[in-house]
């Protein structure tokens, strides 16, 4: 059994009384004051997460962007320094190895941030096109919420104003990106491990509330953002996952392209907003009347809406927006309605 990794902020989490747990091969804070309290802090004020478990891969060389363009589904070669983009990396059957964000720091330096459990797979897949890939051990505090901009400006007064999917490298080597996994205005801060405690403490001193990965999960599900391993995996294609917008159709080359273009969808993702008190959970059956048509992949109680929400895969064409469906959880059957995410607010990815 592989030993768990620890964040440079591990001592800070324990001192704050965090409930710790294993996640993606790391021991990370699951919650501090409670999921609903932390979720509400991010929606209404500001919260800070430790997402140091995320992978950090630096792709170097004069052709770094072009190399990534050949590996990933979305365009990279046309990005300028200071720009970032969401993309996917596929296997040879068009299954999603991972979803990730690429950040162009300089013409010859691109930061790639995959999910924790997929770092090695992504590194090897990117290297297979000839890219020079260097793993980094940077820590990553993520500041999210309506007050995030004011707090960031107080902690980093020299940081430039950033548009959504903008990124800046400061003089001291710290990288600040206008990205996140909550749907709120926010920033992910990539820094050497030795800077992590100072930055974390400064963010808390400015009023951000510490938040764990449980709240990050309810926040991302309210936005309909997929979680790799639950909503997307190597048996799911971008078209099935509703992520076709992250595949640049005019690209002549990317790994898995031939399979993606030839595989018809076997399932389709949908959102479900519950009408009653039944809370959908992973693996619950989705029914059209009494006929099973699919399975819930992520489900939770929405702290913002005060009702259950879910992402599920159903038979292609079986339901449309506004249709009633039933969700069977053990011996209970709840009623819901098909709803295209986001369930709360609007998706900031449309800005990018």
Q: Does 231 fall in a domain?
A: no
Statement to judge: residues 207 and 248 lie in one domain: no
- 346 pLDDT band (50/70/90 cuts)? confident
Q: Residue 165 above 60 pLDDT?
A: yes
Give me the CATH number covering residue 158. 3.30.1360.120
CA distance 218 to 301: 8
Statement to judge: residues 195 and 128 lie in one domain: no
Statement to judge: residues 200 and 329 lie in one domain: no
How many domains, in total, are found in the chain?
Answer: 3
Statement to judge: residues 152 and 190 lie in one domain: yes
Give me the CATH number covering residue 257. 3.30.70.1400
Rg (CA), the chain: 20
Mean pLDDT of the chain: 97
* pLDDT tens digits along 276-330: 999 999 999 999 999 999 999 999 999 999 999 999 999 999 999 999 999 999 8
Q: What is the DSSP string of 167-205?
A: EEE-TTS-EEES--SSSSSEEEEEB-HHHHHHHHHHHHH
| Burial (Cβ within 10 Å: 0-12, 13-18, ≥19) of residue 223 | buried
Output the pLDDT for position 2: 79
Domain limits at 31? 5-51+138-223
Statement to judge: residues 125 and 153 lie in one domain: no
């Amino acid at each position: 059994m592989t030993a768990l990794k620890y964040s440079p902020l591990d001592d800070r989490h324990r001192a704050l009384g965090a409930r710790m747990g294993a996640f993606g091969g790391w021991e990370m804070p699951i919650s501090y004051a409670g999921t609903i309290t932390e979720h509400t802090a991010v929606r209404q004020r500001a919260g800070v997460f430790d997402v140091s478990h995320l992978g950090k891969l630096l792709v170097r060389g004069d052709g770094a962007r072009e190399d990534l363009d050949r590996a990933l589904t979305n365009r990279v070669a046309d990005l300028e320094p200071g720009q970032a983009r969401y993309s996917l990396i596929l296997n040879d059957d068009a299954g999603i190895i991972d979803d990730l964000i690429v950040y162009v720091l300089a013409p010859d330096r691109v930061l790639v941030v995959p999910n924790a459990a997929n770092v090695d797979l992504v590194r090897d897949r990117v290297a297979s096109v000839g890219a020079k890939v260097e793993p980094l051990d940077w820590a990553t505090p993520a500041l999210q919420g309506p007050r995030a901009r004011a707090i960031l400006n107080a902690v980093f007064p020299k940081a430039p104003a950033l548009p959504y999917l903008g990124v800046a490298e400061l003089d001291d080597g710290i990288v600040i990106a206008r990205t996140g996994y909550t749907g709120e205005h926010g920033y992910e801060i990539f820094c050497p491990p030795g800077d992590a405690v100072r930055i974390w403490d400064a963010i808390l001193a400015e009023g951000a509330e510490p938040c764990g990965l449980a709240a990050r999960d309810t926040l991302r599900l309210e936005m309909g953002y997929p979680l790799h391993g639950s909503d997307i995996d190597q048996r799911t294609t971008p078209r099935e996952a509703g992520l076709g917008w992250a595949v640049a159709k005019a690209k002549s080359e990317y790994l898995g392209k031939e399979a993606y273009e030839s595989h018809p969808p076997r399932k389709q993702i949908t959102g479900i907003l519950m009408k009653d008190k039944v809370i959908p959970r992973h693996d619950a059956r989705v029914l059209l009347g009494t006929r099973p048509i699919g399975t819930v992949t992520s489900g939770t109680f929405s702290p913002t809406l005060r009702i259950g929400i879910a992402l599920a895969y159903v038979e292609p064409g079986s339901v449309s927006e506004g249709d009633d469906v039933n969700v069977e959880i053990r011996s209970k059957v709840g009623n819901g309605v098909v709803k295209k995410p986001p369930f709360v607010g609007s998706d900031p990815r449309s800005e990018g």
